[in-house]
Amino acid sequence: SNPLFELETGRITEAAFMGALSRQLSAATGQEVELDGFGERYFHRLDPNEPMIEYMRALRGRGYKLAICTNNIREWEAHWRAMLPVDEIFDVVVDSAFVGSRKPEPRIYEITLERLGAAPDTTLFIDDVEVNCEGARQLGIGAIRFRSTEQAIGEIEAALGEA
């Protein structure tokens, strides 16, 4: 199976994954490749999407229930949670590393729906990866591929207007 998928479903640790990847890259390049601290460096370069965070706050204020369904790494939880007001905005958090399933596998969407107490046809899924959107659509969940904040908000508002 794919080592990244194993990592994102909590079946292997970040240290095991990075160690194996480091050895493979070192062998392939003939140079020592060290990946210690990759997670810290990765998150240091990311900036929260403040306009989208404000929009999610507004949606919550309008009475919508919000969930985050993320493919992630167990050891990175503190990093990504520090970037978002997770507990303020989201009613439900479904993290692949803790539920043993990742997008676009059907089970992670089913877990999210179960925890939200929502039916697929009353749910809207937003993701920047089309295959993840397609996975949601296969279960009857409406899906929008995020390309830009303005585009996503416009499509979300249009979808909510039809509800």
Whether cis (ω within 30° of 0) applies to the bond prior to 104 is yes
Domains observed in the chain: 3-44 (no CATH), 50-162 (3.40.50.1000)
Q: Give the pLDDT of residue 1.
A: 72
In order along its 163 residues, the chain shows pLDDT tens digits of 789 999 999 999 999 999 999 999 999 999 999 888 888 888 888 999 999 999 999 999 999 999 999 999 999 999 999 999 999 999 999 999 999 999 999 999 999 999 999 999 999 999 999 999 999 999 999 999 999 999 999 999 999 995 4
Q: What is the pLDDT of residue 163?
A: 45
Q: Name the pTM for this structure.
A: 0.90
Beta carbons within 10 angstroms of residue 45's beta carbon:
6
CA nearest to 25, candidates 35, 40, 38, 37: 35
What single-letter DSSP state applies at residue 105?
S
